[in-house]
């Protein structure tokens, strides 16, 4: 008799303030993993997130200046049987920057999680899910403060969603 495994639940954040809002902490409570797609602001934020679940993080351009080589600019992850690329900058899902375009042509991951531009979106292009969680801080007047959730059941079987704070 074969058992079924439960889906992997991943919290996805970007552009975090130094103190994380309680609504975010409540929204990602119980996730199995957290992905931070840049705009970290302070390394202490990663420690605060690690109190909830293991964290993988990549820097934005501002983070490179602040943290030097403490973080790498892209991570290839295997999560719940799916291959996920975590990076900050992609251009856009339909018009990616050259390194992402080459990657998609050569060896496309099941999902790309990115933080810039800081506009929330969940988009499928071909067989790849693109997820940008938007900004926990909210970028610009009236911009929604939000984060993402990614539920992974296996390769090609995942659901991305955006939640407002």
- Tell me the per-residue pLDDT of 7-60, one tens digit each, with 9 for 90 and over: 999 999 999 988 899 999 999 999 999 999 999 988 899 999 999 999 999 998
- Tell me the per-residue pLDDT of 93-127, one tens digit each, with 9 for 90 and over: 999 999 999 999 999 999 999 998 888 999 999 99
Residue 101 lies in a domain: yes
Work out the angle at residue 140's Cα, subtended by the Cα atoms of residues 46 and 29, and round it to the nearest 5 degrees. Answer: 35
Query: Residue 161's closest CA among 124, 121, 125?
Result: 121
Work out the angle at residue 16's Cα, subtended by the Cα atoms of residues 71 and 18, and round it to the nearest 5 degrees. Answer: 95
Tokens linked to 85: 């690329």
Confidence (pLDDT) at 8: 97
Residue 1 lies in a domain: no
Residue 154 lies in a domain: yes
CATH number at residue 103: 3.60.21.10
Into how many domains does the chain fold? 1
Domain coverage including residue 123: 8-164
């Amino acid at each position: 008799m074969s058992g079924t495994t439960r889906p992997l639940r991943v919290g996805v954040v970007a552009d975090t303030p130094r103190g994380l809002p309680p609504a975010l902490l409540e929204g990602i409570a119980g996730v199995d993993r957290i992905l931070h797609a840049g705009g970290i602001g302070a390394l202490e934020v990663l420690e605060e997130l690690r109190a909830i679940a293991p964290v993988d993080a990549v820097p934005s351009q501002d983070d490179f200046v602040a943290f030097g080589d403490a973080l790498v600019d892209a991570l290839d992850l295997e999560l719940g049987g799916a291959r996920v690329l975590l990076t900050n900058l992609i251009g856009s899902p339909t018009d990616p920057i050259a390194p992402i375009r080459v990657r998609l042509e050569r060896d496309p991951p099941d999902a790309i999680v990115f933080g810039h531009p800081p506009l929330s979106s969940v988009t499928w292009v071909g067989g790849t899910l693109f997820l940008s969680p938007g900004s926990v801080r909210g970028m610009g007047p009236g911009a929604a403060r939000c984060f993402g959730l990614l539920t992974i059941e296996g390769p090609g079987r995942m659901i991305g969603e955006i939640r407002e704070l």
